[in-house]
Copies of this chain bind each other. A is one copy, B any other.
């Protein structure tokens, strides 16, 4: 059945948008959803939408961590919606959790409550990005601002397993995001990571310059969470600017097709369309969405969580990482 716990209090737009997405996932995709948050508010919102229906349950949480609060707030507030939602997974009542709330708080709560997979030191947030012709995985996009080379190697291993399962790429090419293709370019972290990746049991294609990410130079692109977050968010901002410029230009010259072209472009580059980024490495399925997730993005994220749960992502991740660890540790 794979019920999905949804942090109904997370996100920039309030619970209603999250509830809309959750209700759509339950009604249209028959996925059981456990909505976590202020029970009265959630019940009222569900009634406005024609009642909870058989597939939506409410899990009460009396507290909620704001988008701008320090991540460590999650450690001190067990009644917060994100903590209760993650506890629901830890207790086996939900198969996965989705939150569009405070990313740092979700990472800390997941790490503290669920613990880590064996042989993994740090979790990594894995974004799925469009490239020319296919999708690729970029990680870490924000779970760890500071990483060691050994962490990046683990991210590469997890990213490769994830690309196999999620994108169906049998032998994913792993690239290291850096500022030059040559092994000697970059900073201390990339140079040391390059050395370790060459020795790892992975299809390592070397350093990838940022301009080649979208050209499809690798299926898995590895970097520290500061760099990955910058790369992902600068892309979002640029896509948005281009979208506006384009809409203006087309509106003047061909209003009839402006909408279609813009919509296709938006789907091609808008990350929220892909739903959510899994937090790989923690011993439970955790998906983190954009704070600005729309109801549609929430629905997709829940579908994605359900798909990962039924595909046994977690067990495969643990198995493949243990095997990979045995071959070269």
- Which of A's residues lie within 8 Å of B, judged by CB? 68, 70, 104, 130-132, 142, 145-146, 177, 179-182, 184-188, 209-215, 223, 225-227, 229-242, 244-246, 249-250, 253-254, 257, 260-261, 264-265, 268-269
Q: List 17 A-B contacts (CB under 8 A).
A: A132-B244, A145-B179, A145-B187, A146-B187, A179-B226, A179-B229, A179-B233, A210-B234, A214-B241, A215-B241, A226-B227, A230-B230, A234-B234, A241-B269, A246-B246, A250-B257, A253-B257
The reply to whether B269 and A242 form a contact with Cβ atoms under 8 Å apart is yes
The reply to whether B213 and A234 form a contact with Cβ atoms under 8 Å apart is yes
Q: How many copies does the complex hold?
A: 2
Measured in the bound complex, the distance between the Cα atoms of B172 and A73 in whole Å is: 36
Most buried by B among A227, A231, A237: A237
CB contacts (< 8 Å) of A177 on chain B: these are 230
If A132-B241, A132-B244, A211-B233 touch, does A184 touch B70 (CB 8 Å cutoff)? yes
CB contacts (< 8 Å) of A185 on chain B: these are 104
Chain A residues touching B, majority SS: helix
Q: Which residue of B lies closest to A188 (CB)?
A: B146
The smallest C-beta distance from A48 to any residue of chain B, in angstroms, reads: 32
The reply to whether A268 and B239 form a contact with Cβ atoms under 8 Å apart is no
B132, B187, B237: the one within 8 Å of A214 (CB): B237
If A142-B179, A230-B227, A234-B235 touch, does A241 touch B131 (CB 8 Å cutoff)? yes
The reply to whether B265 and A237 form a contact with Cβ atoms under 8 Å apart is no
The smallest C-beta distance from A70 to any residue of chain B, in angstroms, reads: 7
CB contacts (< 8 Å) of A179 on chain B: these are 142, 145, 225-226, 229-230, 233
Measured in the bound complex, the distance between the Cα atoms of B225 and A9 in whole Å is: 38
Measured in the bound complex, the distance between the Cα atoms of B248 and A264 in whole Å is: 11
Measured in the bound complex, the distance between the Cα atoms of B254 and A257 in whole Å is: 8
Q: Which residue of B lies closest to A261 (CB)?
A: B249
